[in-house]
Every structure is written in C-alpha cells, then in structure tokens.
Amino acid sequence: MSSELTDLCRYPIVQAPMAGGASGPELAGAVAEAGGLGFLAAGYKTADGMYNEVKQLRRLTGGPFGVNLFMPQPVLADPSAVEVYRHQLAGEAAWYETPLGDPDGSGNDDGYEAKVAVLLDDPVPVVSFTFGCPTRDTLDAFAKAGTHTIVTVTSAEEAQSAQWAGADALCVQGVEAGGHQATHRDDPQADHTGTGLLSLVAQVRETVQIPIVAAGGLMRGAQIAAVLAAGADAAQLGTAFLACPESGANPLHKQALTNPLFVRTELTRAFSGRPARGLVNRFVREHGPYAPAAYPQVHYLTTRLRQAAAKAGDAQGMALWAGQGHRMARELPAGELVELLAGELEAARTALSQRSPR
Ligand SMILES: Cc1cc2nc3c(=O)[nH]c(=O)nc-3n(C[C@H](O)[C@H](O)[C@H](O)COP(=O)(O)O)c2cc1C
C-alpha cells in the first residue's frame, strides 16, 4: 500500500466490500480492530443508509475503514432483451409465488452523486470504486478531503486510465474473485474468461506506479505472500470473510461455501446482468446461458426471486457469490481470521527468505 495507506493498518489485509448485506459495520469493525482494513459496501444502499452504517462503524472502532461505491452505468441500449428474460423467468415467479421486480429499480446511478456528497462532507479514511473510474475532479475532491481513493480494475488498460485519472491506489481484481467482475465497460461481445490474479498483478505492476491491492481467490496467508511477491502492496479478501460470524451473509450462503453439493463456481449474468462469480446452483444452470448484458436491470428484475428463495430456505434459487477458493473458507471470528492470515503470511515470508538459492 502507499505509505499513508500502509500506516493506516497493521497488516496488509483488506476485507472486501460486499454489497447485499455481508460487509456491514460489525464485520468492518472487527477487521479494523484486529489490524486490517475494514470496508463498508454502499452498493444498493441509499446515501442515508450508507451514512448510518458509517456512523455505526465509528461507534465500534477508531480503526481504519473504507466505503465502496458503484459507478453509474450507461443507459441500456436495448431494453427488449430484458423483456425476453422476464419471460424466461416467469416459471420462477410462479414457483416462488412472487412477482418479478421492476427492472428500472432505482435507476442506473445507484445514488452515486448523493453518496459522494455525503462522503466529501464527512470524510472517511478510504473510498473505493467499482464498475468504472470516477472523474479527475471527484478524485481530486477526495484527495483534498484527506480520503485515499482506490479504483478497482480488471486489466492493465483500466489500471493505466485509473492512474491517469488520479487514483491513489488500485484494487486489481483477478478472474478468481467472488461477486461481480469490476470491469469498467461491460462488453457483451468480450470474452469473460478474464485474467488470473498473479498474472494480472504482474502486468499491472509493470504498467503503473501507484500501490496495488490484489483481490481474487485469496484464502490463506501464503497466497497473500504470493501476490505481494508479484508486486501487490496488500491483499483484499471477500469470500474468506463471508463465513465469519460478523458477516451479514445469509446462513444458507455461508453453509454453501463448504457444502460438497456445490462443486464449482462460474461467472454468470443470471442474477444481475453483469458477470459475477458464484456457486453454480439450479438458477445459474437454467438461466445463466440466457441472461442478457443488462445491469442493473436484471438485478432489480430478480431481487424478489432471490429474497423469496432465501425465505423458502432454497439455496438453489439464491445468488451464492463466492470466489474460486470458497472450499477453503474458515468459520472464524473476523478478528481471529485477520490474526491467522497475518501469521500465515509471516510464516510464508520467513520460509521464502530462508530458502537457499539453487
Ligand atoms: C458476496 C460478495 C459481494 C461483493 N460485493 C462487492 C461490492 O459491493 N463492491 C466491490 O467492489 N466488490 C464486491 N465484491 C468483490 C470483492 O471486492 C473482491 O473482489 C472479491 O471478493 C475477491 O475475491 P474472493 O471473494 O475470492 O476473495 C463482492 C464479493 C462477494 C463475494
């Protein structure tokens, strides 16, 4: 991390922002208290909802934390594809006895401007962005407010433009990552197989000079040591923290991470219209191949279905976001997990430094 960011926390360990309820004040507070960087997720929240969580978190810890914002999305070119998908999901609506949601939901911008205004008015230590890069003016305004900015990127090109725009640091997200790929432009024609984290970190390290936080599939301290060796300054972990008791993830979601019934993850547009990695369940298998590139419209369309599936205790209809390392999840209090990861990292570094050159 940049010297200022490194100074914020004891360990180079960042708890990923996880929208949808997993990373609230309780999780972020426990991570911050243990010496990592905790994160609140402002995605799908109103500016007021976000600010309430910031205030709650400040009551729990004086430690460092960040807030993550979704960048506004371009207007959908072809809404008819969403209508076709609505028909595809009619059987689900009947099965879960719930109407489908309004695809226009709360619009394309997720309240971005209002959230930026709140965070500039009452600054927090770190703000990160996903699904795009803010303007130079916005990044400058945060710098003036004393807030460190991190822009999430999935390619060397995105990394370069974020550096040019004035980001303080990058979150480099590999294809292994759980949840949405943070790609700045969702190109439906593009191949969404993505780039593996180690390779991407090495590429980005050779492209930009600013600090890198590496994310995607990291579950153990030895993996953190590997990304640091590849050029990252810190590691961001989502799935590893999902299973913690402080995580607000649905208990069925937590259990599914290590349930042998779920053998693999996949990038799917089935639930939201943007590629996101989750455990492959019935819903992903049946609808993934037909889901259009229409985010956030598909997210709003499926919101009630996902809620109804959760209420019915049916993990086969829920969005079970998870990274490729999900089976290695450990159900530990977040503070203990941070300490354990930090110990494993130290051990891996010591082992590497003691290995004699051949
Ligand atoms: C349940 C879940 C929700 C997520 N929500 C967000 C989010 O709101 N904002 C964001 O930038 N990244 C989000 N991510 C992605 C993480 O920031 C991070 O890239 C990812 O968790 C790293 O991969 P891992 O899960 O294998 O550790 C989410 C990931 C998960 C698993």
| Rounded mean pLDDT for each run of 10 residues along the chain, 358 residues in total | 71 98 98 98 96 98 96 89 96 96 82 97 98 98 98 97 98 98 88 86 97 98 97 98 98 98 96 97 97 95 97 98 98 98 97 78
- Residue 54 CA to ligand 1 center (angstroms) comes to 19
For residue 327, the Cα-to-chain-centroid distance in whole angstroms is 18
Tell the residue number behind the tokens 């049946």, with chain if given.
286
What local confidence, expressed as pLDDT, does residue 8 receive? 85
pLDDT in the model for residue 236: 98
Residue 319 has which token pair?
Answer: 């969005």
Is residue 321 lining ligand 1, measured as CB closer than 6 Å?
Answer: yes
237 lines ligand 1 (CB under 6 A): yes
| CA 326 to ligand 1 center in whole angstroms | 12
Counting from 1 in the atom list of ligand 1, the atom nearest the Cα of 322 is 31
* H or E segment to which residue 49 belongs: helix 47-60
List C-alpha distances in Å: 131 to 73, 152, 208, 274, 296: 8, 8, 19, 10, 11
Query: What are the CA-CA distances from residue 321 to residues 52, 104, 120 (Å)?
Result: 25, 23, 31
Pocket test for ligand 1, best of 13, 14, 15, 18 (most atoms within 8 A of CB): 18
**At which residue do the structure tokens 């965070």 appear?**
119
- Say what angle helices 297-311 and 80-88 make with each other, to 10 degrees: 20
Pocket lining: 217 vs ligand 1, CB cutoff 6 Å: yes
Closest CA to 317 of 94, 104, 105, 107: 94
Tell whether ligand 1 has an atom less than 6 A from the beta carbon of residue 179.
yes
Q: For residue 41, which of 59, 67, 63 has the smallest C-alpha distance?
A: 67
The b-or-e profile of 126-157 (16+ CB within 10 A means b, else e) is bbbbbbbbbeeebbebbeeeebbbbbbbbbbe
Is 238's C-beta closer than 6 angstroms to any atom of ligand 1? yes
* 17 CA from centroid of ligand 1 (Å): 6
Q: How far is the CA of 356 from the centre of ligand 1 (A)?
A: 37
> What local confidence, expressed as pLDDT, does residue 358 receive?
61
Q: Is 111 in the pocket of ligand 1 (CB under 6 A)?
A: no
Nearest atom, ligand 1, residue 178 CA: 25
The helix/strand/coil state of 144 is: helix
Tokens representing 146 are 């004393």
pLDDT of amino acid 192? 60
What's the 177 CA to ligand 1 centre distance in angstroms? 7
The dihedrals phi and psi of 351, each to the nearest 5 degrees, come to: -60, -40
Whether the model pTM is above 0.85: yes
Atom of ligand 1 nearest to the CA of 240: 27
Residue 322 Cα, ligand 1 centroid: separation in angstroms? 8
Q: Rounded to the nearest whole angstrom, what is the distance from the C-alpha of residue 16 to the centroid of ligand 1? A: 6
- 292 ligand 1 Cβ < 6 A: no
